[in-house]
Structure 1
Amino acid sequence: MNMELIIPSQTVTLKSTFSLTLHENEERKFLINVPLETLRVAMNIRTYPYTLIHKYGLLMIPTLTEEDIRMAKCPSHPLLAHLEISLAQGGSSITYSKPEMKVLLWNCRGCNNPNFKRNFRALVQWHNPNVICLTETKLVNHCPLLDFIKFTDLFEISADEYSGGVAFMWKSNELEVDPITITSQEIHVNIQVPAPSIGERSGTTRMP
């Protein structure tokens, strides 16, 4: 297997606010590891279709307990200790009694690309994320992607003809995702782990 296909261009451990801008036709992959001490993550994905160059903005804001914030200031605190887990083939996205969240972010430049499905499946199998965000999908309907990787839930922004498109997918048995704002240009959610064991929800929310 070609390692260039399955290793993201950058791996990030979410210890504080993280922001990122992705430009159209610029393929980039990120694996974002959320430490076990994180209570929840606010995540906002916004598309800017009317700028000179179509681009996407990502903002993630983690929330820790007060005790863990104090511990994080200590040099010995192992916030970075779980990076190896994300790089181990077949590693579970639930690793300890309190699950870790892994987010795969990919500006994929079109999901109809002949190589996309092969590379996408390899990325998911290798890193085993429980949240996936795809930008520049160039798709109107992202439900086939949900079925393809066996995820349970989806928020999506449909592409405008052959431009744009965002898919936000997750595993409802591992995470609780509460929508704050879902529009034709923005997906804003709160993500919390672990997911409640009672009253699981699944479904799709689509914006035209």
Structure 2
Amino acid sequence: MKKLYCFDFDGTLTYKDTMFLYLKFYNPSKFRIQFARHIPLFILLKLKLADAEKVKKSFIGSILKGQLQSKIETKSQLFFEEYYPKVVRENALDFIKNMDRENTQSFIVTASLDIWTKPFADALKMELIATEAEFDNGIFTGNFVGKNCNGEEKLLRIKKEIKNYKFDKTIAFGDTSGDRVMLNWANEGHYQFFH
């Protein structure tokens, strides 16, 4: 039986949202200043009056834009070493450790950026589908390659990855409205399963 597992990352496998955690880790003083500047946008976002992708791009760009890819990758590895496994839910770790890996393909499917989620995916022996950071000549542009990997985009990206494969069963895990499309599509959709 060939199985496909799709796990959302932030909040599903982790206790905390890793975007804020990583940006604070990357540059604490810049994070504090930019967080304060972005509060009005975060409020508009909560009220559904702002575009999530634009706000996210603006906030991440305000801290990381213009940074060298090599520095970002080094910091991402240090961030991973600092927060793995403590930021990951214990029962999620147990579940993943005990998963039958034969005839199984597993993905982390996240709206978070590939730059800081890749080391976690590698450690959990999973492939990564994430929002992709755009680099130009080894410098982060502040933009994404393609769209923010959330909602409908999550499913489009999964389908793109698996188009040449046939699975007997798809199992998905998520914890927010951004995971609903993926959960509804799967044969088994688990909401806040590890909470």
TM-score past 0.5 threshold: no
What is the TM-score when the length of structure 1 is the normalising length?
0.27
What is the TM-score when the length of structure 2 is the normalising length?
0.28
More strand by share: 1
More helix by share: 2
